[in-house]
């Protein structure tokens, strides 16, 4: 009498190597989501762990100029807390226009007149830091209290500006009052959805 060998099915990972690879990849992504996102956004290295505080779009005559997101360690945003402002552009704007418009807004929002040489120096600093932007480009400004700011083109450091006064005035364009777009300011700060 002979006994036939019992044939057991092969383990699933031998039968479906692609499924096994996908399962391993999904497991890694589940375990390391923060590291993957952090590596893709080097501007986060200058900050403690941050979360999206708020976001909104800037429009002009019905055209969306950019979508902004404020990243900070906690809500509400505190005066001496580092943060990042991410701007995703939907239009083409030259670096010169970005710099000159920033200076105009800084002047408009300042409670006291700013000296001409200071404004000229700031415009020069911003002009060197900015790049021309187009639809799909992302600029990120990182506010570093009492140190200044860093500007990034998505994942590349463009400039580090060691001028705390310029940094405060620059980010005040979006977060201070009287804002050009009070609704956007309130959305960025997480005061309204």
Residue that is written with structure tokens 């187009």 in the block: 134
How far apart, in Å, are the Cα atoms of 53 and each of 89, 155, 171? Answer: 19, 21, 15
φ, ψ of residue 148 to 5 degrees: the values are 135, -135
CATH architecture observed for domain 44-188? 3-Layer(bba) Sandwich (3.50)
Per-residue pLDDT of the chain (193 residues; tens, 9 = 90+): 555 555 555 554 454 555 444 444 333 333 344 434 444 688 999 899 999 999 999 999 989 999 999 999 999 999 899 999 999 999 999 999 999 999 999 999 999 999 999 999 999 999 999 999 999 999 999 999 999 999 999 989 999 999 999 999 999 999 999 999 999 999 999 999 8
pTM: 0.79
C-alpha span between 48 and 92 (Å, rounded): 32
Q: ∠153-159-161 over CA atoms, to 5°?
A: 135
Residue whose entry in the numeric block shows the structure tokens 């400004």: 141
Express each pLDDT in 9-61 by its tens digit: 555 445 455 544 444 433 333 334 443 444 468 899 989 999 999 999 999 99
């Amino acid at each position: 009498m002979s006994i036939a060998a019992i044939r057991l099915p092969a383990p699933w990972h031998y039968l479906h190597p692609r499924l096994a690879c996908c399962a391993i990849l999904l497991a890694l992504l589940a375990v390391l989501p923060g590291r993957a996102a952090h590596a893709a956004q080097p501007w986060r290295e200058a900050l403690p762990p941050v979360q999206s505080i708020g976001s909104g779009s800037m429009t002009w005559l019905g055209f969306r100029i950019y979508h902004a997101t404020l990243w900070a360690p906690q809500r509400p945003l505190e005066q001496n807390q580092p943060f990042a402002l991410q701007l995703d552009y939907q239009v083409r704007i030259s670096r010169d226009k970005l710099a000159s418009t920033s200076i105009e807004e800084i002047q408009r929002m300042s409670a006291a007149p700013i000296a001409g040489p200071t404004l000229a120096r700031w415009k020069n600093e911003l002009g060197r830091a900015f790049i021309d932007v187009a639809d799909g480009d992302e600029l990120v400004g990182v506010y570093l209290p009492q140190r200044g700011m860093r500007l990034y083109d998505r994942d590349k450091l463009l400039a580090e500006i060691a001028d705390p006064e310029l940094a405060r005035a620059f980010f005040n364009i979006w977060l201070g009052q009287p804002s050009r777009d009070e609704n956007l300011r309130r959305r960025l700060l997480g005061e309204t959805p």
